[in-house]
Chain A
Amino acid sequence: DSGVTQTPKHLITATGQRVTLRCSPRSGDLSVYWYQQSLDQGLQFLIQYYNGEERAKGNILERFSAQQFPDLHSELNLSSLELGDSALYFCASSVQGGGTGELFFGEGSRLTVL
């Protein structure tokens, strides 16, 4: 158990819909990262927050947004969903914002768009 909690574990929805994925980082970790894992593109970095502020942005679509709340949990919002958004979405956390620390991953939220 990494200490990172993601909900829901599975989600099935239709094209055009909007979903919210939630992540609770390990206790004491200030940084939260979101990754998308799809079969054809491996693990893609989406976005990182550190202590409530956006720290780095990767290949995140404009239809996607995220935030980190004062209690450090984070939400990833996916809107106008397309079939290609079907993937496993991982949240990870680390103590610091820098890349030298270990990332602790949750078990992921599997999104299926029909």
Chain B
Amino acid sequence: GEDVEQSLFLSVREGDSSVINCTYTDSSSTYLYWYKQEPGAGLQLLTYIFSNMDMKQDQRLTVLLNKKDKHLSLRIADTQTGDSAIYFCAETQTGANNLFFGTGTRLTVIP
């Protein structure tokens, strides 16, 4: 698993790009995920990337994976106030039964 770390807080101005970073320790991680938790709600999958990929883009979201450094990032372009939430990085391995989540990064978008 099992050690997934994120910085706790990030503030950006509306319209700027946000970059949320995550580091993990398990080199056998094969799937890496970004989940979003809005206030008062459960977590919702935003995007995921397989470990054999370097980058994945999905509209305003860009995921970058540096497998050598075990570093994952989520870039949100043109950040909006509705993007304010807690973002969790998570990882798992093929055949594993569980996702291991980071501590979450609270993104605050300033109007």
Interface, chain A (partner B; CB < 8 A): 2, 4, 31, 33, 35, 41-43, 45, 48, 50, 55-56, 58, 90, 92, 97-100, 102-103, 105-108
Interface, chain B (partner A; CB < 8 A): 30-31, 40-45, 48, 88, 92-104
- A99 with B96, Cβ < 8 A, contacts A2-B42, A90-B43, A105-B43 known: yes
Q: How many A-B residue pairs have CB under 8 A?
A: 62
Report the minimum CB–CB distance from B89 to chain A (whole Å).
11
Whether A102 lies near B45 (C-beta < 8 A) is yes
Whether B104 lies near A43 (C-beta < 8 A) is yes
- Select one of A102, A106, A107 contacting B40, CB under 8 A: A107
Whether B42 lies near A105 (C-beta < 8 A) is yes
B-side interface mostly: loop
Whether A45 lies near B101 (C-beta < 8 A) is yes
Inter-chain contacts of A90 with B (CB < 8 A): 42-43
Whether A107 lies near B31 (C-beta < 8 A) is no
Known: A99-B92, A105-B43; 4 extra A-B contacts, CB below 8 A, are: A45-B98, A100-B31, A107-B41, A108-B42
Inter-chain contacts of B43 with A (CB < 8 A): 43, 90, 92, 103, 105
Whether B42 lies near A106 (C-beta < 8 A) is yes
Whether A50 lies near B45 (C-beta < 8 A) is no
Inter-chain contacts of A2 with B (CB < 8 A): 42, 44
